[in-house]
Copies of this chain bind each other. A is one copy, B any other.
Amino acid sequence: MPEDLAFEAVDLSRTASSSELIYDALRDAIVSGRLAEGQVLRQDSIARMFNVSRIPVREALGRLEAHGLAASARYKGMVVASMSPDEISEIFEFRAVLEPVVVERAVPRMSAADLSRAQRACDAFAAGTDAARWGELNRDFHWSLYSHSGMPYHLSVVRNAMDRVERYVRSQLKLTSGMERARTDHQAIMDACARRDAAAAAELTRQHILNAGTTLVAFIDLQKTTTGSAGVGPGRSNYVGASR
């Protein structure tokens, strides 16, 4: 059999089923904040949107719940997960532990091309004018550093932690000094990577994340005390663990 045909072949057994496509779409909508927290997710309406029956929708919702992006009660339906300030704070602590480890491993493995790609991501973030894309660009930059770590499991866990707080990071960046601070932090991390100082890159990453977390939580608490609970700030005590 000719192993090299004239056309590009794809492994069809790994193509996505509809439930996976639905999961991806819902995940993206939640992570990006287009679906507000607490929003109820009706199987029927989602099914109609995708022109499928409720079965693949249910499987997608199940996976969302497994990843902690939605919460359900039997026979009552599913809602987009909310996070209390305490929970958000914990996620940032968590990221501040893990991500430095990942960068530190990645730095010596980055090629010159990788570094320039990361610098481009850094520049793209710094130059970003559309506030709606800041979260995405922020994530792209961090990921451009982490992806060379050769630690797939660490990456999958970091990705999930990022997913849970991405919505809130967006609002943190919108703070007056949030974007400014992020720009300088990012460039400092980038520079440490460029001069192959893995330990410095790790420490800077840790500080960067911790700072973003405390700033964000302070902002949320402030918002809560000033506007009551009417703002976009998250509700309290709806934590749903990732497993079970």
Contact = CB atoms under 8 A, between A and B. Distances in A.
Interface residues of A, number: 43
**Dominant SS among interface residues on chain A:** helix
Contacts of A159: 243
A243 B97 contact: no
A97 B241 CA distance: 20
A58 interface: yes
B24 A87 contact: no
B153 A67 contact: no
* Number of copies of this chain that the complex holds: 2
Contacts of A153: 87, 90-91, 94, 161, 241-242
17 contacts: A12-B74, A13-B73, A13-B75, A13-B76, A14-B74, A17-B74, A59-B59, A62-B62, A62-B66, A63-B66, A94-B153, A94-B154, A97-B98, A153-B241, A153-B242, A157-B157, A159-B243
Given A13-B73, A24-B244, A156-B242, 6 more contacts: A13-B75, A13-B76, A58-B59, A59-B62, A63-B66, A87-B153
